């Protein structure tokens, strides 16, 4: 098994969840149904700050190449937060942390952290496009470009994730543990998404 196989398996096993996390309902859920520009920016800022805190914690409690990768990611997420907050008059990060990041912060095993990194990357990539689409729809090309730029950093994180898996996993069992953890992370994000929509009286499943 290879790092590429991990990504393929996680995508296959979580196809429905990732598809729905990347739907137009994801921003509706994240903002509690209040999709004004400021609320969307605040939701984005909270997500970036939570990611910064998670990966900073992982960097502080990891060793070797994993420590370097997590620190680099934490620095990226801190920069993302600063750039989003620059679009707001003020912002205090929410005390509430998403279910995905709550789950990530319970992981301390190196192999499972590598899998968690993959799961968070795929879930985040699925939802990021909706931020771009929102600001395109608001006729705000400058902010839409900001979110395109943030999304492009996920390409670097993708490379980092594959290198991390390669450095951390030695056996098929190791890779399977990474896959299982990645799936748990995606499902944590998806379960919260469905719960948020249910609380708003919205069916999380697409209506055909």
Fold assignment, 3-199: Heme Oxygenase; Chain A (1.20.910)
How far apart, in Å, are the Cα atoms of 187 and each of 17, 59, 124, 160, 195? Answer: 7, 24, 12, 22, 12
Nearest to 138 by CA among 32, 39, 25: 39
Q: Report residue 188 as tokens.
A: 């944590």
**pTM, full prediction:** 0.94
Q: ∠ at Cα 3 (146, 164), nearest 5°?
A: 65
Say whether pLDDT at 12 is over 50: yes
- Per-residue pLDDT at 100 exceeds 70: yes
pLDDT tens-digit profile of 60-89?
999 999 999 999 999 999 999 999 999 998
Report which of residues 114 and 35 the model is more confident about.
114
Residue 208, pLDDT score: 36
Contact between 80 and 146 under an 8 Å Cβ cutoff? The reply is no
Rounded distance, CA 123 to CA 96, Å?
19
Average pLDDT over residues 13-27: 92
Q: Which tens digits make up the pLDDT trace of 131-183?
A: 999 999 999 999 999 999 999 989 999 999 999 999 999 999 999 999 999 99
Cα separation, 53 vs 77, in Å, equals: 9
Q: Given this model, what pLDDT does residue 93 score?
A: 84
Q: What is the pLDDT of residue 177?
A: 98
The pLDDT tens digits of the residues spanning 29-65 come to: 999 999 899 999 999 999 999 999 999 999 999 999 9
pLDDT surpasses 80 at 206: no
- Cα(156)–Cα(140) distance, rounded to whole angstroms? 26
């Amino acid at each position: 098994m290879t790092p590429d196989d991990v990504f393929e398996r996680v995508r296959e096993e979580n196809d429905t969840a990732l598809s729905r996390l990347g739907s137009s309902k994801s921003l509706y859920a994240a903002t509690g149904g209040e999709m004004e520009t400021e609320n969307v920016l605040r939701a984005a800022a909270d997500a970036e700050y939570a990611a910064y805190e998670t990966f900073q914690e992982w960097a502080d409690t990891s060793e070797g190449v994993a420590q370097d990768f997590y620190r680099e990611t934490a620095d990226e997420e801190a920069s993302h937060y600063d750039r989003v907050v620059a679009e707001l008059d003020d912002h205090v990060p929410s005390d509430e942390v998403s279910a995905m990041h709550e789950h990530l912060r319970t992981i301390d095993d190196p192999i499972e952290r590598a899998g968690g990194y993959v799961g968070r990357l795929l879930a985040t990539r699925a939802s990021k496009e909706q931020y771009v689409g929102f600001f395109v729809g608001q006729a705000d090309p400058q902010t839409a470009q900001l979110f395109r730029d943030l999304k492009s950093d996920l390409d670097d994180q993708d490379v980092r994730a594959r290198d991390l898996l390669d450095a951390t996993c030695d056996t098929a069992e190791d890779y399977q543990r990474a896959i299982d953890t990645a799936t748990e992370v995606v499902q944590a994000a998806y379960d919260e998404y469905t719960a948020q929509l249910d609380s708003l009286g919205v069916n999380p499943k697409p209506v055909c």
